[in-house]
Every structure is written in structure tokens, then in C-alpha cells.
Structure 1
Amino acid sequence: MSDFDMMNLPEALTKRIAEMGLTDPTPIQAQAIPHALNGRDVMGLAQTGTGKTAAFGIPLIARLMEEGGRAAPKTARGLILAPTRELAGQIATVLRAMTEMKVQIVVGGVSINPQIQRLSKGVDILVATPGRLLDLVDRRAVRLDQTNFLVLDEADQMLDLGFVHDLRKIAKMMGDDRQTMLFSATMPKQMAEIAASYLHEPLRIEVSPPGKAADKVTQEVHFIAKAEKTALLIELIAKHREERALVFTRTKHGADKLTKALDRAGYKVVAIHGNKRQGQRDRALAAFKAREVLVLVATDVAARGLDIPDVKHVYNYELPNVPEAYVHRIGRTARAGKEGAAIAFCAPDEIAHLKDIQKIMKIRIPVASGRAWEEVPDPKAKPAGGRGRGRGKPGGGRPGGGPGGAPGGAKPSNNRRRKPKPRGPATTG
């Protein structure tokens, strides 16, 4: 008998959970599910990869089964809001494995007409991104006045993506007599406002400090010039060609450019980002999951919602300018108690981002190569004591070494000597 059996869940749900291989609840599940089953509003804070989907999915399904009845046309009995298409898809997949109830997903990037058709008869659980949901509301394809259960998943990312106004609009469309669950990996200041607007006397559950990485993630940073990053990435990936690697860039253009470079280097690689059509993104993820390609290059659209087994290596090719995003990125590895590695590249203009990341994580990431840019002397600075021989700047792209082995980055001599000028009489003073 598993601990889930002790939670007095509906028999059909318990059977489905067992078939999914869920036997022992994770800490966030063990603490959140019993209170949610009792109808309490819950605010759960837990690092990515700790089982938050089941933490809200199990009690949501159980309460809908207990309530009974069917959804009226163009309504949803339960609503789950997610920040990205990928995360919404992942949630829907998990819920469909747990229940026979009607679970529908509505996201942008695809035709809206089939979604309108699917909502026409009503659904038990609707998984949506905020923007597409409001589009459907505006078209009178769905209404929320009969939605009694609301889940906000990865609420902090919805704030980062600018959905705060959409969330306020959606809240006003729902009745006050509802149960709300909010889950997040970090707790930015604005989250308190969202919690006050959505939750009624919530039970706060925090199973790990915000900003903490999974215990089995090893982290390291390489201090390296921007122009040398691609060569180093190719060198490192070559050491584990048979293992999956997820590479994060900051921009869509950067993701495409890096993908082409890795393809030229002989790697099977795909990319996903906001400019890709939903079909392209789905096919790329499917190929990565099926091991048809072992390298996936992505922007932060993939920082959450990707639950792919055995992603052993996460590369931060470019550090994010939002430090919390780093935590979510590296959460794509070491999932479900497995081991993983997070490798970061830090160029001179990214040192401030690295400092912010280390501050929220309350750690100092071990240095794998190079010297911290802030520790490298400024080549323009004069040494103490007046004039003297200047100190060379970092060379060869990596701090601490110069081209051709010249110490300190000093340029090698061209072996040409100037003809000495005639000198006049010595002077003093």
C-alpha cells in the first residue's frame, strides 16, 4: 500500500496513479494534497522537478469526481493557467493519464477555431495560457462564471512574461466561491499581490527555499570570451555525445545561430523558441524525447514544462538576465532524484548576471576554467608607483592566458628593433 492509498482518494484515481508508477508522494505532494482535498486554498513553493503537477492535479481531479455533474456548454469546471504552451501541454498530458474526465488545452500559436469547437460542449478541466483564454472569452466561446476550481502554475513566470493584467481580468470573471491553488518555484515581490487577489486565507507550503537547485545537480562556470563560447560548447558536448544536452540562449536569433553552428559541427540538433510555430516546437520536442536528436537549443520557453527523462547536461550558453530563470533552466536536469550537470558560460558583460544568480541561490558556483573577469586586471590601468610595464589583458578568449602562450595575454615580440635615436646631454630635474 502506498502513501497515496492513505489519502482517501477515489478508487479510480488511486488505480490510475499506481499505473503511472507514482507510489511515494514527493514532499510538496505529501503536504499540499491533504489540505487541497479539504477545500483549502494552497500556495505551494517548490523547486522545479519536484512533482508540482501531481500536487495540484490529484486533488483537483478528486474534488471534481466528488462534486459530480457535467460541465454546461461553453464552461469549464476547473481551470489551470500556465505561462507557456509547452508547460500547458505537459500538464494536460499528466492529467489525461490520471482521469477519464474531459481535459482540453487552449494555447496560442495554433488555429483558434478547433478550440472553439472543443469548448462548445463544455469541459471538466481546461488548461490554458492566459492570452488565448481571453481571446476565447472575447469570442464568447467560453465563460468562467461556473468555474469553481482554479490553479495558477508557475505563477512567477506568468509575472515575468507580463501576464499580470490578464490574470486580474480572469480573476474578475470567476466567482468568489472557488478553491484556488497557486504553485511557483520562486517568490518575487509582486507575487504577494497576486496571492492576495486570488487566494483566500491560503495555506503556504514551502518544501525548499526559493532559488535552490535540486540536490543532485552539479554546477560549474567557465569564464570565457563571447567569441569562444561555441568552440567550448562543441568541445564539452563531444565528451558525452550519447547523452541528451539542453542548451539555453537568451535570444531567438542566438538560438538559431547556435543551432546552425552545432549542425555544421556534425551534431543532430533542433531548436525551439517563440518564433517557431507550435507544430515546429512540438516536433522538435518529440524528436528530443525520442532521442532522434540529442541536443536541443532553446530560449526560456523551455525553462519550464519540459519533463524529459535523463537530460544529463544543461548548458547556460548565455546567462539569463532574470536570475530566477537560471534556477528553472537547470531544473530540467536531475529530475525525479536523478543526477545531472549544469554548465554555465560567463562572458565579461555577464558578470553582473552571475552575481545575481549566486545571490539568490546563496552559493558560489565552482569555476571550471578561466578567472573571474572581475579578478583580471584592467590592461589600461597603470601599476602602482608610476610608469612601468603594463599588465597584459586576458588573451585567447579565456582569462589568464595569452595567445601563443604569452604570459598574461602580452603580445609576442615581432623581433624588430628600432634604430636608437641620438641622445643629447643629460639633464636633471
Structure 2
Amino acid sequence: MDTELVGFANPNEVEDDDDEEISNGKKKFAKKSGGFQAMGLNFEVLKGVLKRGYKIPTPIQRKTIPLALEGRDIVAMARTGSGKTACFLIPLFEKLKVRQAKTGARALILSPTRELALQTLKFIKELGRFTGLKAAVILGGDSMDNQFSTIHGNPDIIVATPGRFLHICVEMDLKLSSIEYIVYDEADRLFEMGFGEQIHEISNRLPESRQTLLFSATLPKVLVEFAKAGLSDPVLIRLDVESKLPEELKLSFITCRPEEKLAVLLCLLKNIVKPKSQTLVFAATMHHVEYIHMILDKANISNTFIYSNLDPSARKINAAKFQAGRVKVLVVTDVAARGIDIPHLDNVINYNFPAKCKLFVHRVGRCARAGRSGTAYNIVSPDEYAYLLDLHLFLGRPFHIVPSSGSGNIPEGAIGKMPQSMIEEELSELMCWHDNTTDLINMQKVCDNAYQQYIRSRPGASTESVKRVKELRISQAGVIAEYCDVTPAAADLLSRMKNYRPQGTIFEIGAKPSSVDYTVMKAKRAIHKESIANYHRKMEELDDKAADIAKVSSKKSILPSSSADEISAAFSEIVAPKKRKVDDLYKNIKKKKRTVTRDEEFYIPYAAPDKHTEDGLAVNSFAANADRVQLDLSADNEESRRLQTQLKKWDRKKKKMITVSNDSKVGKIRTESGAWIPATYKTNRYAQWKEKSKVDAMEDEDDEDEHPRLQKLRTTANTHWARHNQKTKDKAKSKAELKRPEQILKARKLLEKKQRKQGRKKGKGQKKGSKRG
């Protein structure tokens, strides 16, 4: 039975981006799209796009922008670095067109991190500089008074992080009724960071006639439910999904002992990486970032650093230093793993290997963007081998280990080592620095403690990978040829010396046959002769098994989608790349492979066919959630009994003890600082700011030019008539507003939807009535 993966390109077919048609053996060229000029953009928008340097739209831009210009709701998924930011900014400028000072914000862009929000603001200023549209940014950690002033300035576009923006909405009682265009940038990251409550709360405040665009580098099943609830008849665009990494990205995996990681990092930065190239180094915790920063300063390597607890202004300054090219190395935690576009970034180094496959994709996706080439170096210690195998399963790449002999045709991306002579040289220098600097010794202890805490919170690798890693002898991998700093002959000699195992022990070599030591060892060897033979046979079997695993992993399997029904229910239209058929020989090979004895229609496998992919893309897993849940049936000590009694309280109305909800986060939202506050929580800060800045007086002056009918309805006392007049005033304003054609069309579609639902309900009621009759 042939199953098709909905939304994905078929692996049996090759993507064809040339828009060619073949008929009667001759190439018949279809009309080319012509780039951005053929999209019907305004002159001001097109001028900004061309001035920015964009000439030919990327595949995701070719598919997304025309649909967005039609006013459709879109869920777009494409490989990282494929130009998703321009996909939602160009239709945004085309929709808003010109500045409207008194309307209020008409577009909202939600970003997971402040760096990504600032980068989006920079793009808006560059692409839309000829449109005259005003953009503002609302970020946590900045002054709320300044943000009140910004909102009162009626910007056309607001770029914000969800926590602070919702806090501002609550404080100012913002209705967001003027929002026409909402973008969720890096949507899976928004949900992964725990902004689900804020996103739903903000979505409830938006008008139903809005246009929604949801962009992400990955699309977990969690987001399908959100798209069904929050979007109106959305189109799903999935491009470049089969190749999770860009073709221009080169991978290198270097194994070493944990204590050698710093030495390997210094070897890479000093000897392998080009001196003028820019490098991003990812570490596990903020303490590792500070420690690596101190070491690189000692080594006279220009560098800077970013982590979440760093002051916002310092983060901005350090990021600007790196982007401007004043420093060559930026050491970061995963706060910079998503969405940051650093021009001409050449290399990424994973100092600590990521535990999640999706996180690896986003880390290395910082380089090799928009057609540029790049290299990702990965330093892997023995406790990270299982995650390395999980990654290869997720990517569908063959798992090759460099042989210790160094012979044979070694493919690119094989797992190997760095020459020990290079590592020893850096290790001796590191030991000297630590002996002479107390700060480094103290920081090393802090890092060791932080790593222990990191291991506790790190999700475990799959049990299959943990078992398989024991069979693969990764620690015995040979030296990667391109890192070898000695001549090939010397390298071969060193590898032979390393792998040489003498036949006898020290008691047998050089001893006389008549000596007691020699006689005892020969007798001992004779007793264990069979065990030694069994061990060598077992090692040979393991080598054969490892070779079989490498062969199996190199074969690409066709995975049917487990979420086809969900996707087809959520999206009425799916856009995939154009394809063309491969040659008949390849088809015949595939047909031979499909002849299996089991009946695919009734066969139920033990695991889901896309298990590895979904595990890599998962936002929340059942195992992680189950670990946090505990059920006590009865108390077994005094302390537990006391805690159980605290969970009940006396209800005066019901006249009995009732159980209090143990969930302290019900009806609350999380601010940018991480504190949970009630969704209706409101301080007096906004009122104080209005009084201090005399905003009411300025509004009175502005209202002198209002319509006479609205001026008559203006009253100051908080009475019934004042409230009545305010409602009448709002109605008059809403009637005066002109609706755009796409807004009218969307409102009609929503009305038709409601009428259909009501018709179904009436039909059911009539059937029930007829049954009763």
C-alpha cells in the first residue's frame, strides 16, 4: 500500500525549482516569475526590497508572499535561514501602505526573544524605509513608562515579546481592535518557552477579521491544534522539510574526553578555523559561557558573550560588537539558538552537544544561511554519544566512524578524533594558566557544579540509542584526516604504534623460558585460552554488527505520516515543492523493495513510523510531564498528613470542607521576568504615568478638531449618561471607519460559517422533535 506524506515532498521524486515543463522530448520553458517585480508590489515597498539587496525570492518567499497578499491565513514551515522574515514583512507593508497616525497599531509581530525582536525591527526599518510606516518594539526589561509613551504614539507596527506585551495590554486596557495583521514568529519556540497562556490571551483580544501568519522552522503536532483554533481556513506551506539541514552546511564530529574539551576548542579556534572568519560557540550554562570567555581572553582570541541573565543593554552591545565584526568569537547559551541572523557567519561550534535534535538544527542553522556555506564543529564526550546517535536517526544520515588505521575512503561528516599532539600542547598551556590564576580554578569548580545540575535537567536519550552506543566503539575512532598536522607516513606510524598489542605480557617478554614468571604466565594463558578466543570472536562480531548498522542507517526509509488526518482536518490547502519523476531504473529498484510478505493495510507496527522525527520536534513529552506528577493515596508520616489537611478549606456557603486547587497558576499569566500574576492584575503605574505626563490634557487639545456630534457626547462625570454617551461615541467612530475589501470578505466568510453551524443545530433539533412526535 502506497502512503503519501501530506505536506512533504515525496523522497522518490526530485524537487524542481526551475519551473520547466517537458513535452514531446523537448524542453518547453514556462513563463518565469521574474522575482519581486512580478508580485504587484507598491513602488515604495519594491524600492525598499531592492535597496536591501533582495533580487530573487527564495522558494518559501515565492510560495508565501502571493498567498499573504490575497489575505489568506498562513502556516509556513521552511528550513532555517531560508528568508522567512521577508515573507511576512513584504505583505505587511503592502497591506498597511501608508502611515495612519490616529488609527492605532494595525500590525503585531510576536517574537520569542528580545534579540529576534530587535532584528525584526531592524528589517522593518530597512525594508519599509520608503513607506513612512512607524514601528515600535516592546521588550521585557525596558522602562514601562517609555513603552506607555510608545503606545500613545500610535505606531503602525508593534514588535514585541509576549510576556511584556500582555502586561502592557492589562495595564493600559488595550483592546487591540485596530489590529489587522498578526505574525507569530518562531511559533514553536514561543510555545516551548512557556508563552502558551500569553499567546491565547493576546489572541482573544484580537478582532476576528484579522489576518494571521504563523512562521516556524519546525511544525510539531502541538501547533496544528493552535492553527485549527486560532486561524481561519489556513494554508499550510511546507518546503525543504526532507533536508533538515542546508546542503551548504558541512558537519564535523570530534570525540574527546570531558577534560580535553577546552583544549579541542582552542585547537579549533587557533589551527582549524580561519583567522578572519566569525564563529559562534554554544555552551550549556551561563557559567560555562563566562569560563570560556576567560580562557579565550587568556589565549588572546577576541571574543564576547551573551546569556539570558545578562543585562539587556549589555546583551545588545555584545551582539552589536559581533555583528559589526569587531570581535571574531561569540560565546552564547541557547538564548541565541533561534532566529538570529548574523551576516557572513562562517562557523558554529557546539562545545556541549545539544540533548534535543531540534535544538541542534537551530544551533547549526545560524550559519550557511541564504545560500552561503558554513561549517558546524561538534565536540562530543562519552556521555553525549547516545544523543549523537539520536541526531543521526533524526536527520536520516549514515553513522560513520573513522577507522583507527586511517585507511579507506572516509565519507564527510564521519566521527573521529583530533591529533593527540595538538591536544596535549593546548592542555599543557591550560594547566599552566590554572596553576597561576586563582579565578580560573574557582570558575572551573563552579562550571563542574553547574554541569552536574545541567545533567539532571537534561532530557535522556532514547533507550535504543543507549543500547546501540555500547556496541559501537566510538571511543576507538581514528584521527580525522583534515585535522592531521603531521605527514601521512608519520600519522600512519603513530596509529600503528597506538594499535599495537604485544602477544605476551611483561612477565613473558624478555624473560627466560626456565624462569618461574614465564612458566606461571604460560600455564595461566593455557587455562584461559578458550575465554581469550571467545573474546576476540565477540569483538569481531561487534565490528560486523557496527558495519551492518552503518549500512542500514545509510538507507533512507519512506516514513508515512502519523498526523495526516490531523493536518488534512486543519488545512484545506497544502503547498509543496514542484516535483519531477526520476528515471525508470530507480523506480524498478523501489518496486522490488516494496514486495513484502506482510499486508500493509492491516499491519500495526510497535512504534510510530515517524517516531524519531516527532521525538526531535516534540515541545512537551509525556515522560517529562509524568515525572513532575505525584499521587499520594494516603499519608505515611506526620508531615504528609499536615500537607494533606492544608489542601482543604471550609466553604461558608456550602457548609463543608472543599478541596483547594493545587494548581497555583490557574487564571494567571507570566511576565517577562518569569513571575506569575493574575490575568486581571493591574497596578496604578499607567494612571500615575498619565498624570505625570499630562496625557489627558493633550488629548483634550486634540479632540477640539473632532466631529461636532462627538463633542456633544463628551462628558467628564462618571455617571450613567457618561457611560451611555461613550458607547454612542464608539458606535459613531466605528461607522465612520472604512473597511478594506479583504476585511469585508473575511467578515462575510465568518458570518457564513456561523450560519452553517446554526443550520446544523436547527436540523438536529427538528430531527429530535420529529422523533418525539
TM-score after normalising by structure 2: 0.49
Aligned to 2:45: 13
Structure 1 position 314 matched with structure 2 position 361 = no
Structure 1 range deviating more: 114-123 or 349-358: 349-358
CA shift in 2, pair 1:129/1:408, >3 Å: farther
Q: Is the 2:110–2:185 contact (alpha carbons within 8 Å) kept by the matching residues of 1?
A: yes
Alpha-carbon distance in 1 for matches of 2:311, 2:135: 23
Task: For residue 210 of structure 1, report the CA deviation from its aligned partner.
Answer: 6.5
Aligned to 1:140: 172
Q: Is the 2:386–2:469 contact (alpha carbons within 8 Å) kept by the matching residues of 1?
A: no
Unaligned runs of 5+ in 1: 379-392
Residues 4-403 of structure 1 aligned to structure 2 (within 5 Å): 4-65=36-97, 69-72=100-103, 75-99=104-128, 100-140=132-172, 142-209=174-241, 212-238=244-270, 239=272, 240-364=274-398, 366-370=413-417, 374-375=470-471
CA shift in 2, pair 1:116/1:357, >3 Å: farther
Task: For residue 357 of structure 1, report the CA deviation from its aligned partner.
Answer: 2.3
Alpha-carbon distance in 1 for matches of 2:298, 2:500: 33
1:79-108 Cα distance to aligned partner (Å, 9 max, x none): 001111111111111011122201111111
| Greater helix share, structure number | 2
User: Which amino acid in the other structure matches residue 191 of structure 1?
Assistant: L
> 1:200 aligns to what SS in structure 2?
coil
Task: For residue 358 of structure 1, report the CA deviation from its aligned partner.
Answer: 2.2
Unaligned runs of 5+ in 2: 1-32, 400-412, 419-467, 481-493, 528-773
User: Which amino acid in the other structure matches residue 83 of structure 1?
Assistant: P
Alpha-carbon distance in 1 for matches of 2:506, 2:190: 56
> 2:261 aligns to what SS in structure 1?
helix
CA shift in 2, pair 1:20/1:122, >3 Å: same
> 1:180 aligns to what SS in structure 2?
strand
User: Which amino acid in the other structure matches residue 126 of structure 2?
Assistant: A
Q: Is the 1:330–1:342 contact (alpha carbons within 8 Å) kept by the matching residues of 2?
A: yes
| Greater strand share, structure number | 1
1:22-77 Cα distance to aligned partner (Å, 9 max, x none): 111111111100010010001110111111010000001111117x74454xx421
Alpha-carbon distance in 1 for matches of 2:143, 2:313: 11
Task: For residue 364 of structure 1, report the CA deviation from its aligned partner.
Answer: 3.5
Alpha-carbon distance in 2 for matches of 1:413, 1:250: 45
Alpha-carbon distance in 2 for matches of 1:194, 1:148: 19
CA shift in 2, pair 1:103/1:409, >3 Å: farther
Task: For residue 198 of structure 1, report the CA deviation from its aligned partner.
Answer: 2.2
Task: For residue 113 of structure 1, report the CA deviation from its aligned partner.
Answer: 2.1
Alpha-carbon distance in 2 for matches of 1:229, 1:171: 46
Alpha-carbon distance in 2 for matches of 1:258, 1:376: 31
Alpha-carbon distance in 1 for matches of 2:506, 2:136: 70
Task: For residue 352 of structure 1, report the CA deviation from its aligned partner.
Answer: 2.8
Q: Is the 1:47–1:210 contact (alpha carbons within 8 Å) kept by the matching residues of 2?
A: no
Q: Is the 1:116–1:141 contact (alpha carbons within 8 Å) kept by the matching residues of 2?
A: no
Task: For residue 406 of structure 1, report the CA deviation from its aligned partner.
Answer: 5.8
Kindly report the root-mean-square deviation, in angstroms, between the aligned alpha carbons of the 2 structures. 3.3
Q: Is the 1:105–1:127 contact (alpha carbons within 8 Å) kept by the matching residues of 2?
A: yes
Q: Is the 1:216–1:337 contact (alpha carbons within 8 Å) kept by the matching residues of 2?
A: yes
Larger Rg: 2
Alpha-carbon distance in 2 for matches of 1:344, 1:172: 43
Alpha-carbon distance in 1 for matches of 2:56, 2:91: 16
Alpha-carbon distance in 2 for matches of 1:377, 1:182: 44
Identity level (%)? 34
CA shift in 2, pair 1:222/1:251, >3 Å: same
Task: For residue 121 of structure 1, report the CA deviation from its aligned partner.
Answer: 2.4
Alpha-carbon distance in 2 for matches of 1:114, 1:17: 31
CA shift in 2, pair 1:166/1:409, >3 Å: farther
Alpha-carbon distance in 2 for matches of 1:197, 1:252: 38
Aligned to 1:384: none
> 1:311 aligns to what SS in structure 2?
coil
